[in-house]
Amino acid sequence: MKEIHFTEIDSTNLYLKKHYSELDDLDIVDALHQNAGKGRMSRVWEDSSGENLLFSLLIKDKNLFPEFGSLSLLAASSIMSTLKGLGLSGVSVKWPNDVMVNGKKICGILLESVSLGSEMQALIIGIGLNVNQNEFEDLPNATSIYLEAKTGYEINALRELVYTNVRNDILMLKMGDKSYLDRIRQANFLISKQIDFTHNGDSVTGFVRGIDDDNRLIVEVKNELLHLSTGEVTFHKG
């Protein structure tokens, strides 16, 4: 398992999209700064150079391709456990891909797939974890380990811990262990909250009731339970 380090790059996810064929399962690329960091749906992932953990992990094991829907939550669970291990409290996961601390976003996850024709070649799990950044201009809902724990972390030491934890959790999933779902359910940021979202083109309001075994969000709408997968729901806010 290789790790490739950059001082600056456009986006670590983009790097793996371009270079996946030369790399192996569970290889990681990271950077101290991204000048074109990506969120979902063309959103931007911001970072202050050298202060955060920005990395992407490659999955080439075809047995894991059907687990596409599991991997965002699995990675979120892994980051959550790591943060708890560092002593942070108030850590939760906001379905489908955010790790929160005391209601603010500390980590975002971008899962992408690479296909040739109709055949999937690789999955890419991109993770941005705010570590030592102490100010987020124009991002009032962002936080970092430093802001929450009041202590800084050496990026190189932290990244080894994070990489070990994420890789171990992926290996557990390969063995069929789905216990990440229990951890997520116990720390479901959205539980019981009212959410407004778009579903099949309609604006809908509902209350979050849980997460099912297929990683879908269970939402109660007019006494009916909807099971929503990521692609089916666009949150209006939050």
Q: Where do contacts with ligand BT5 occur on this chain (CB under 6 A)?
A: 11-13, 34, 37-41, 43, 45-47, 54-56, 97-98, 105, 108-110, 126-128, 130, 139, 142
Instruction: Kindly state the smallest distance separating residue 202's Cβ from ligand BT5, in Å.
Output: 22
Helix (H, G, I), strand (E, B) or coil at 93: strand
**Beta carbon nearer to ligand BT5, 48 or 121:** 48
Q: Which residues contact 39 (CB under 8 A, 6 or more apart)?
A: 45, 108, 110
The secondary structure element, H or E, covering residue 196 is strand 194-199
Element (DSSP H or E) covering residue 224: strand 224-228
Q: Which is nearer to ligand BT5, 55 or 180 (CB)?
A: 55
Q: What is the DSSP letter of 216?
A: P
Find the shortest distance in angstroms from Cβ 32 to ligand BT5: 12
Residue closest to ligand BT5 (Cβ) = 108
Decide whether 32 or 220 has the Cβ nearer to ligand BT5. Answer: 32
Min CB(206)–ligand BT5 separation in Å: 20
Closest approach of ligand BT5 to the CB of residue 75, in Å: 10
Shortest reach from residue 144's CB to ligand BT5, in Å: 8
Question: In terms of CB distance, is 129 or 219 closer to ligand BT5?
Answer: 129
* DSSP 3-state of 232: helix
In the bound state with ligand BT5, the residue whose beta carbon lies nearer, of 41 and 116, is 41
Compute the least distance from the CB of residue 119 to ligand BT5, in Å.
Answer: 24
CB of 230 to ligand BT5, least distance (A): 10
Residue 238, amino acid: G
Instruction: List the structure tokens of 222.
Output: 């007019």
Under DSSP, the state recorded for 156 is H
Instruction: Choose between 11 and 188: whose C-beta lies nearer to ligand BT5.
Output: 11
CB 12 within 8 A of CB 56: yes
CA distance 207 to 62: 36
- Long-range Cβ pairs for the range 182-185 (8 Å, 24+): 183/77, 183/80, 183/81, 184/73, 184/76, 184/77, 184/80, 184/93, 184/95, 184/211, 185/210, 185/211
Q: Which is nearer to ligand BT5, 13 or 132 (CB)?
A: 13
